[in-house]
Chains A and B, each alone.
Chain A
Amino acid sequence: MFELFSYHFFTNAIFAAVLTSISCGIIGTYIVSKRLVFISGGITHTSFGGIGMGYFFGLNPLIGAAIFSILSALGIEFMSKKTEVREDSAIAIMWSFGMAVGIIFIFLTPGYAPNLITYLFGSILTVTKLDLMISFGVTMIVIIFFLMFYKTILFVSFDPDFAKARQINVDLMNYALITLVALTIVINIKVAGIILIISLLTIPQASANLFYKDFNKIILYSIIIGLTGSLMGLLLSYYINIPSGATIIFTLVLIFLILRLFRTIKIRYLSDLN
């Protein structure tokens, strides 16, 4: 096993797994607590439009994805507040529009679109040094932002009206946070892929939430569970030679089911004692 670590791609993958677990652990807890899972799915799929345009114009597809995801995130946040369009319909429109733009531009791009599958299904083993550096940067921003504003984030998310009555700029906070959601999605596209990314933002949180009901504890245990799942998934995918993104998600779901079973047994056992 140790010879694995002499491969660059493998050490890169491990660093990527660590950064993914941290960024998704923090941002996912925010998403799950505030019930933004559908919005996050929308942002993720809209970013495919940017990937298609990146291919067409010969840019790094992730730059296109970043632009699309941030604009869609801010757009959804704005639309749900200021216009009369129903929020879930607005998300569905963006979701499918982004996918459509991506498909059209990839079709128009002459020749073959390399790594397209990577963006759709993820491939943690193809993460480059540049990807890691960007991922590190975004993860640090997320960590610092949450450390600085932790209680304001918590209180504004729990009861925005109360925060507004205290003259807190709730809209600005929400825009900042949804931008961080978009950036976190972009840096994790290569790891899990557009189709699977939402699970990295929700399964660790759902698992942690089985045992903990406190925002900061859910963050902490989501990171630990996410890291365990992605490292196990990574090794598993390497040894059986199956796609890493899907294997990681599979492992995370397995962990969730085991913890769920454990909790049921624990509750039964405790009630038998009484």
Chain B
Amino acid sequence: MSDYKKIAGLNKVYAGYDGKIIINDVNLDIFENDFIGIIGPNGGGKTTLVKVILGLIKPYKGNIEYSLENSGVRLPIGYLPQINAIDKKFPISVNDVVLSGFLSTEKYIKKHTLDEKNKADEIMKEMGIVDLRKKSVGELSGGQLQRVFLARAIISSPKLLILDEPNTFVDNKFEGELYEKLSHLNKTMAILIVSHDIGMISTYIKTIACVNGEVHYHRSNIINEEQLQAYNCPIQLITHGDVPHTVLKTHNHHH
């Protein structure tokens, strides 16, 4: 299909919680230049799918293959969780959260190296959060927190970046900046972004995965009501203007 390297593949995966299957028979291949938008109704299994890919829950059936680095370890995955899943009263500074992006099995004990600290400084400057470095996470606004988590997710230069609803609790200005940043990052890593609506992201993503129990992969960033119906994926499309059965505005310069 492409010259791009496959970094992860789900084969006939069934997964869920407490013995209840939420997503079934999922086949999905992720390639190194992908930018996939994951959409679907609440409870349809978007977060379950993300957790399976991250290795946080084991599938009941089926398997996931990851491509391996030379030393035989899985390629690193960057992860930006839903911010309401985080305890904001936890006593941790922005600086430490960003540094936690270097967490890995070889580094249980080792202290952060000077290189790592410099990298953290650099990335905090890039994200515009360097002045917040000594603040604790509880003192930040939603947008600031998302920036911190994005810095943590990408500091280890992962090959796959997964974002779970990064557009909640943020203003439109930040949302735009975030997507511009992601387009840029997409040159060096594959991106999976979960979104409750498909408004602004549609112009940035390349393909769409509709998740509602099953996963339907749509190889385009343009989708209409009929297609969503066919995928059994009832979400509301944001309409732009009066066009019936809205096709979202297209935007070509990434392709």
Contact = CB atoms under 8 A, between A and B. Distances in A.
Given A33-B90, A151-B100, A214-B92, A167 B109 contact: no
Interface residues of B, number: 32
Interface in B95-109: 96-97, 99-100, 103-105, 108-109
Given A84-B18, A213-B136, A159 B100 contact: yes
Q: Which of B93, B112, B138 has the most CB of A within 10 A?
A: B93
Given A162-B103, A167-B55, A209 B76 contact: no
Contacts of A148: 109
B204 interface: no
Contact of A161 (B79, B90, B108): B79
B81 A215 contact: no
A235 interface: no
Given A158-B87, A161-B56, A152 B108 contact: yes
Given A148-B109, A152-B103, A165 B56 contact: yes
Contacts of A212: 91
B200 interface: no
B92 A154 contact: yes
A218 interface: yes
Contacts of A166: 76, 103-105
Contacts of B93: 213-214
Which of A35, A163, A215: most chain B CB closer than 10 A?
A: A215
A165 B111 CA distance: 20
B55 A165 contact: yes
A164 interface: yes
Contacts of B136: 213-214
B138 A164 contact: no
Nearest to A164: B56
Interface string A154-181: 1101110111111111000000000000
Contacts of A214: 91-93, 96, 136
16 contacts: A35-B87, A84-B18, A151-B111, A155-B96, A159-B81, A159-B86, A161-B85, A163-B103, A165-B55, A165-B56, A166-B76, A166-B105, A167-B104, A213-B93, A213-B139, A215-B96
A192 to B, nearest CB: 24
Contact of B55 (A151, A155, A164): A164
Contacts of B79: 161-162, 165
Instruction: Using C-beta atoms within 8 Å of the partner chain, give the interface range for chain A.
Output: 20 to 34
B54 interface: yes
B206 interface: no
A87 B227 CA distance: 43
A132 B91 CA distance: 31
Shortest Cβ-Cβ A-B pairs, 6 listed = A213-B136, A155-B100, A165-B54, A165-B79, A166-B103, A213-B91
B46 interface: no
Contacts of A159: 81, 86, 100
B187 interface: no
Contacts of B100: 151, 154-155, 158-159, 162
A154 B136 CA distance: 13
Given A155-B100, A161-B54, A164-B54, A215 B91 contact: yes
A149 interface: yes
Nearest to B105: A167
Contacts of B81: 159, 161-162
Interface string B26-37: 000000000000
Contacts of A215: 91-92, 96
B147 interface: no
A141 to B, nearest CB: 16
A33, A84, A161, A212, most chain B CB atoms within 10 A: A161
A223 to B, nearest CB: 15
Interface string A205-225: 000010011110010000000
Given A148-B109, A168-B105, A154 B77 contact: no
Contacts of B216: none
